[in-house]
Amino acid sequence: MPTAREIEKCLFALAPRDGAMDWDNVGLLVGDPEAEVSRVLVALDATQAVAEEAIEKGCQLIVTHHPIMNCKWLPVQTLREDTPQGRLLRRLTRENVSVICMHTNLDVAAGGVNDELAAALRLEDPGPFLEDGLGRIGHLAEPVPLADFAARTAAALNCNGLRYADAGKPVYRVAVGGGACGEYADVAAAAGCDTFVTADLSYHAFLDAAGKGINLIDAGHFPTEDPVCRVLIAYLQEQFPALSVEKSASHREAIQYYVKGESDYVRTF
């Protein structure tokens, strides 16, 4: 059976380490590099639920997109049982479960997060639209109304819901940025895109969309990145046929939506 180190090396062949942003933390972040691995659980995040699922299923390794620690939004300063992150890390180490994370290096990699997102939305001829390889621009087979494309996006990504802003244009030339890429809306507009699909957009991004002449679709962080899990599963199964590799059944979109229906109304007095 392969070791955690060998699996890490193989994943870096898919998404090279030097593609990661300088603040990022990728690779084998938890565990013994020489530990043998026979079962792998793949998820977007290494949450407590994912850890418990891995332990219950007898997995020696979790492979995720988002780093489990030491990145700009989740720095590790303590390892205490009475903190959520400390409890998770202690649980993993007690059970000898390793964690490998492929983050911004997988965003920019060929066949990674953004290529898979472009494929899910049926974009043709996708290519990077930023110098660092982040994001993709492609086009549809034919122009469609924004409302139709939004519905198609929600179905393709299995969204609980999505937010969008209509700049009054049909959808044809589309930029995508899996996860929080709202800062690149201006770049997408300057590249001649009529629509930008990403996540975690601010109020002002929607407010300014019409003036910038670009439709915006916020399809959610989890839905725009989760499709890459199937890439990781297929790749690991191809490279290590003896491995048992499966997607987490416990990790799913955390955001739920209440949508006001036609029967609802606001009463004024």
Task: List, for residues 226-257, the tens digit of each pLDDT value.
Answer: 999 999 999 999 999 999 999 999 999 999 98
Give the DSSP H or E segment for 174: strand 171-176
pLDDT of residue 265 exceeding 90, the answer is no
Q: Which residue has the higher pLDDT, 69 or 260?
A: 69
Positive or negative, the CA dihedral 166, 170, 173, 177 is: positive
What pLDDT is recorded for position 22? 92
* Whether 214 contacts 206, CB under 8 Å: no
Q: Three-state SS across 203-248?
A: HHHHHHHHHHCCEEEECCHHHHHCCHHHHHHHHHHHHCCCCEEEEC
Give the DSSP H or E segment for 29: strand 27-30
Q: Which residue has the higher pLDDT, 74 or 197?
A: 197
Q: Could you tell me the pLDDT band of residue 263, with boundaries at 50, 70 and 90?
A: low
Fold for the domain defined by 4-106+226-247: 3.40.1390
Does 4-106+226-247 match 110-219 in CATH topology? yes
Nearest to 251 by CA among 8, 10, 52: 52
- Residue for token pair 């332990």: 55
What pLDDT is recorded for position 267? 46
Per-residue pLDDT tens over the stretch 29-87: 999 999 999 999 999 999 999 999 999 999 999 999 999 998 777 788 888 999 999 99
- Give me the architecture of the 110-219 domain, per CATH: 3-Layer(aba) Sandwich (3.40)
192 vs 194: CA distance, rounded Å: 6
Per-residue pLDDT tens over the stretch 139-184: 999 999 999 999 999 999 999 999 999 999 999 999 999 999 999 9
The mean pLDDT of 183-210, rounded to a whole number, is 95
What pLDDT is recorded for position 221? 97
Contact residues for 94 (Cβ-Cβ < 8 A; gap 6+): none
Q: Three-state SS across 42-84?
A: EECCCCHHHHHHHHHCCCCEEEECCCCCCCCCCCCCCCCCCCH
**Residue ranges per structural domain of the chain:** 4-106+226-247, 110-219
